[in-house]
Amino acid sequence: MVPDAVFFASTFFLIGMVSLIVGALWNIRIWFLGAESVVGTIKKALLTVLNPRSLAAIIKAFLVKVFGQHRLYKYERLRGLEKASFVSFYVLLILSNHIAADIATGVSSIQELMVEFFRSPFFPGYIFYELGTELPLIWALFLLIDNLSMAVVLLFAEGLAIHRRFIKKNFMFGTKEDAIGLFMPVIWFLFRYMAEAATIVKFGFPDSGKFMFIAYGIAQLMAGLSPAQIELLYNVLWSTSGFFLGVFVGAIPHSGRLWHAFAGPIAMLANSVPKTVRSVK
């Protein structure tokens, strides 16, 4: 059983994904203008991806250029470390939640997979509904990875970004879009931590909840609240975390800075494909 709060959160995320997809398609429409036809462009893309040589180049670029931010690190180490830690641990957070949610709920069809895709960012909100409070070690480790990934992004990557952009002031741009790109994930994570804390209190401080070490600490501050108040917090905080995730995701194609951060890795992957392969017709 998935609680209403997770349903509302996943609905906000769904709306944000629709905005992302529509905006992204609008932004990349220029990619098709130079092609003989859309079908021809798609055919060339498939031939490129299915070619073993280009696939190896894409995988290498994904590890070195996207996750490692090698080129940016060589140019400016602090900025490269910031981007690499953000991308790597953000992806770890998303993937670990998706995989864990699919396994816990027993996904067995494409339809169930799609439903779980939109619910999984909020999996800690219903993990105890699905598996109970006495979790095996493997699931407790997932909760640890969840909180650790958010902590690295929130305290390390975002901290470096704030220091570099607003304190050290050795950056080129300081716009409202910079602020949106920096603080929207922060707001989502903060509400997510508090929602996890409410979940821990709601289920009576289970031992496995200690692996959500940051949320567990926040939960101590909620310990004196009544069950009705905790239920209200649980519903409000999870729904609000979904709202801010939806806003962040939906804003990506409509913000120059966010779109650059999102599309940049795709461009790097495309540029990493050997020219001899890209020229195949």
For residue range 136-190, list pLDDT tens digits in order. 999 999 999 999 888 887 777 666 666 666 666 555 445 555 556 667 778 888 9
Sign of CA dihedral 79, 145, 111, 242: negative
Give me the mean pLDDT over the 182-211 stretch. 92
Q: 169: alpha, beta or left, given left = phi > 0 and alpha = psi -120 to 50?
A: left
User: What is the pLDDT at residue 228?
Assistant: 96
Question: Rounded distance, CA 213 to CA 194, Å?
Answer: 12
pLDDT tens-digit series, residues 72-127: 556 656 566 666 667 777 778 888 999 999 999 999 999 999 999 999 999 999 99
Residue 278's pLDDT band (cuts 50, 70, 90): very low
Question: Rounded distance, CA 60 to CA 57, Å?
Answer: 5
Spell out the residues 6+ positions from residue 145 whose beta carbon is closer than 8 angstroms to its own.
Answer: 92, 93, 96
pLDDT tens-digit series, residues 213-271: 999 999 999 999 999 999 999 999 999 999 999 998 888 887 766 666 666 555 555 55
**pTM, entire model:** 0.77
User: What is the pLDDT at residue 54?
Assistant: 61
195 vs 27, more confident:
195
User: What is the pLDDT at residue 2?
Assistant: 66
